[in-house]
Structure 1
Amino acid sequence: MSQVLMLSGWRYRILIGSVVCSALAYLAFSLWGGWSAVSAAVSRVGGWAGVQIVGLVLLGYGLRFLRWQVYLNALRHPLPWWPSLKIYLSGFALTTTPGKAGEALRGVLLKRWDVPYPHSFAALFSERLSDLLAMVTLALMGGSAYPEWRPMVIACLISLVFSLSLLFRRGFVNAIEQSVAHRSGGFARLLNHAVRVMQLSHRCHTPRRLIGTTLLSLLGWGLEALAFFWMLTAMGTVIPLTSAVFIYAVSMLAGALSFMPGGLGSAEAVMVLLLVSAGVGLPSAIAATVLLRLVTLWLAVGLGAVFLMMQGKSQDGDFGGC
């Protein structure tokens, strides 16, 4: 009997429905911005610059995959790089689920490699924390031109560091474990699972690993910020690199904290607002935002869909079995 968790029926419909609804929402946003402005922006960027921009984004994916491998190794589940890469990219297919929760699909696929669910969730949890830390750091690095936003970003950093120190304080985690050890009920079971994930996450956040994974996160997401800057430059929109990095990072933070599917709506609104405040015309700001999301969010979803279909074929039908 396959150990792969069933992904069919209502679960499958909910996941696919989330992706479809997100795509329709993005299409509506694009139409509101005007296809003429978007098509004109594509023409200004050109083919060669477009290839370079996509190349930067793909390289960023590669660095984040290396970080994923570090987490799996820390959890004592070293996987060959090609199967692991296919599983990692398959998770991108469900990036448009709220809070990227659908990327937990990797846990279903990793089960075939005898990776228990708490371990794969610990890797995913560590990845999300690393993403947030990288975005806050990038916002601070590029925030010199936006002093009015600096207190908010610093407050986010302080909150994140405090949360990390609390989550990874063994005494705090052990206290939660003891308080729910003899309780029953759904909430107690949920807390037990959360405690187990936090305990496993300690392995991913030793000082040496934390430095390495943070650098990989900064480089991976920094390449997307650089791609955003190159895109604006190719469109003829001149803003400083530091401003582009800040706008990108704060927009992605807004999308992540909104828990909207793929950050849709919130990330775009903040990006357009900040671009306009930097002196970019509204049509150009909307066009740049649409283009960036096409080569980051929707490129990831497309790649993920391809690799997810490859997973289904390679498992000869076991993917939907139980």
Structure 2
Amino acid sequence: MPLKSFIAPKLPLRAVLWSVALAALGYLGLSLWAGWREVVAAVVQVGPFVIFGLLALSLSNYLLRFVRWGRYLALLEAPVAWRINLDVYFSGFALTTSPGKLGEMMRSVLLKPHGVPAAASIAAFFAERASDLLSILVLAAIGLWAYAPARPVVGLALGGVILSLVLVQWTALIAAIDRWAMVRTQKWAKLIVRLCEIILHFRRCFSLPAMSMGLLIGVVAWFAEGFGFWWLLSALGHPLPITTAVFIYAFAMLVGGLSFLPGGLGSSEAVMIGLLVLNGFPEPAAVTATLICRLATLWFAVGLGAVFLARQR
């Protein structure tokens, strides 16, 4: 596909519209299942002040992660002026609903005219995903003592992250694979060479200082949305301990990410509703809390991304 047609916002925005339409149908079905009138009454009960507060907390999440992204690019010797970088970073949110958020790698195409090698921007993307996963695991660990069924999922995810970080630090293995692939002419061999280059960039983001920075920012950023979820539950008249609320939010995000469904759609909502009902929430309140939370976190990001992407030339 020509570079020009990939950058053009029409196709990505069309994908966004399709995902919005499908999500709207799913959320409408959830509302009808839980009781439309009860859900509407609960939304009115929350009020605009709490809604705007949730959006502000979500925005703080995005901005903190943007700071981390800029730091990763600087570590990879590919710094970009903050205004250009901000436009590109937020444009990536338009494709957050792609499986594994892989659509956000579109930032590589948008940064290339500004002198950022694809290997560096893709490595920064994977460093972001790894930091986010570790941060969510830290927050999810808060409630593991009370939810034994969640322990295998969290343990599996943590084991996968640790194994990946160990493998990318094994430079002798990466160099051997790189040399083996370089003497071959097939297309898949060239792809392996590029992947080795990306991995060697990626590992630079996981020195102890860089990993500590990424994890600290990630925990604070995702806790902001978890705190917003706790605030929302209180506004609905069903307060939970903040540790429980943050665990429910983090575990729902973790399951959504591991499901590899676009934006975790369906899986995150199901986990969130199920855990709220287990904690004594009536179904209409659980559905309302889930819908508002997802609109104020996932879909707020997609909407902002669509606006920023439409401005790209």
**Is the alpha carbon distance of 1:170 and 1:37 closer, same or farther for their aligned partners in structure 2, counting shifts above 3 Å?**
farther
- Give the structure 2 partner of residue 315 of structure 1: none
Q: How big is the alpha-carbon RMSD for the aligned residues of Structure 1 and Structure 2?
A: 1.9
- Give the structure 2 partner of residue 80 of structure 1: 81
* Aligned partner letter, 2:90: L
Of 250-259 and 31-40, more deviation after overlay is shown by: 31-40
Structure 1 residues 99-248: aligned runs within 5 Å: 99-248=100-249
- Residue 15 of structure 2 corresponds to residue 18 of structure 1: yes
5+ long unaligned stretches in structure 2: none
Query: Secondary structure at 1:144's aligned position in 2?
Result: coil
Of 120-129 and 170-179, more deviation after overlay is shown by: 170-179
- Residue 30 of structure 2 corresponds to residue 33 of structure 1: yes
Q: CA deviation at 1:165?
A: 0.9
Cα distance in 2 between the residues matched to 1:10 and 1:224: 32
Cα distance in 2 between the residues matched to 1:257 and 1:152: 9
Query: Secondary structure at 1:273's aligned position in 2?
Result: helix
* Aligned partner letter, 1:20: L
Does the CA-based 8 Å contact 1:140-1:154 persist in structure 2?
no
- Give the structure 1 partner of residue 253 of structure 2: 252
* Aligned partner letter, 1:180: A
Q: CA deviation at 1:36?
A: 3.2
Alignment: residue pair count: 308
Of 41-50 and 109-118, more deviation after overlay is shown by: 41-50
* Aligned partner letter, 1:32: G
Q: CA deviation at 1:44?
A: 1.4
Of 121-130 and 46-55, more deviation after overlay is shown by: 46-55
Of 137-146 and 206-215, more deviation after overlay is shown by: 137-146
Cα distance in 1 between the residues matched to 2:222 and 2:145: 19
- Give the structure 2 partner of residue 6 of structure 1: 4
**Is the alpha carbon distance of 1:108 and 1:21 closer, same or farther for their aligned partners in structure 2, counting shifts above 3 Å?**
same
Of 32-41 and 231-240, more deviation after overlay is shown by: 32-41
Q: CA deviation at 1:89?
A: 0.5
* Aligned partner letter, 1:227: G
Cα distance in 2 between the residues matched to 1:283 and 1:245: 20
Cα distance in 2 between the residues matched to 1:241 and 1:40: 24
Cα distance in 2 between the residues matched to 1:6 and 1:160: 36
- Give the structure 2 partner of residue 318 of structure 1: none
Does the CA-based 8 Å contact 2:62-2:221 persist in structure 1?
yes
Query: Secondary structure at 2:184's aligned position in 1?
Result: coil
Does the CA-based 8 Å contact 2:252-2:272 persist in structure 1?
yes
Cα distance in 2 between the residues matched to 1:37 and 1:48: 20
The runs of at least 4 consecutive aligned structure 1 residues that moved more than 6 Å come to none
Does the CA-based 8 Å contact 2:139-2:223 persist in structure 1?
yes
Cα distance in 1 between the residues matched to 2:297 and 2:222: 11
TM-score under structure 2 normalisation?
0.92
Q: CA deviation at 1:11?
A: 9.7
Q: What do the CA deviations read for 1:49-94 (whole angstroms, capped 9, x no partner)? A: 2222211111111111110011010011222222211111111011
Query: Secondary structure at 2:312's aligned position in 1?
Result: helix
Cα distance in 1 between the residues matched to 2:50 and 2:22: 27
- Give the structure 1 partner of residue 49 of structure 2: 48
- Give the structure 2 partner of residue 319 of structure 1: none
TM-score under structure 1 normalisation?
0.90
- Residue 289 of structure 2 corresponds to residue 292 of structure 1: no
Query: Secondary structure at 1:79's aligned position in 2?
Result: coil
Cα distance in 1 between the residues matched to 2:29 and 2:142: 32
Cα distance in 1 between the residues matched to 2:58 and 2:7: 34
* Aligned partner letter, 2:23: Y
Cα distance in 2 between the residues matched to 1:9 and 1:188: 27
Cα distance in 1 between the residues matched to 2:65 and 2:164: 22
Q: What do the CA deviations read for 1:268-318 (whole angstroms, capped 9, x no partner)? A: 111111111121122211111111110011100111111112223xxxxxx
* Aligned partner letter, 2:245: A
Cα distance in 1 between the residues matched to 2:61 and 2:8: 34
Q: CA deviation at 1:37?
A: 3.8
Q: CA deviation at 1:159?
A: 2.3
Q: CA deviation at 1:19?
A: 2.2
Cα distance in 2 between the residues matched to 1:241 and 1:288: 15
* Aligned sequence identity (%): 42
Q: CA deviation at 1:33?
A: 2.0
Q: CA deviation at 1:17?
A: 4.6
5+ long unaligned stretches in structure 1: 313-322
